Amino acid sequence: SSTQALEFLQGLQQVPSHERHERLLSHIRDQVSKVLGWSSSHTIDPHQGFFDIGMDSLTSVELRNRLQTSLGRSLSSTLIFDYPTIDALAGYLVSEMFTEEEQEEDTDSAETTQKDDHPTQTLTSVDVEQLSEEDAEALLLKKLESISV
């Protein structure tokens, strides 16, 4: 329901940014379990591919629809193909749902311990579409590494 979506989103906004990824991991795991008809006690490796755990094109659409409802936002029809693991999907959703400023507010202390010599770049969807597959993958991996501190 929209009330549950609102409560989940408010809870997500209230936790420190470094906890958002874990919250989304847990939420996506729950949704995958529901889509596949598994009990909530079924453990899913967040790095294992959706299709490796038994999802297909129909269940991937159902997962996307559940996430659209629970997150209160429109998601790409290729979402599960573009971000083929729970971990990758959670990383993408955190980056899409929260601006860099919101994410950096809570990571000021982490920033002082790990300085980057390169200026932060914000890529638009047009920039990303123009990247080669290898460059896009490298960029995604770098982003995921920076998220999972």
Sequence spans of domains, the chain? 2-106
In whole angstroms, how far apart are CA 99 and each of 13, 105, 118, 133, 134?
Answer: 11, 10, 19, 24, 25
* Residue range 110-135, pLDDT digits in tens: 444 444 444 444 555 555 556 677 77
- pTM here is 0.65
What is the second-level CATH architecture of the domain 2-106?
Orthogonal Bundle (1.10)
- Output the pLDDT for position 9: 86
In whole angstroms, how far apart are CA 127 and each of 37, 119, 122, 136?
Answer: 38, 17, 9, 10
Rg over CA atoms, the chain:
16
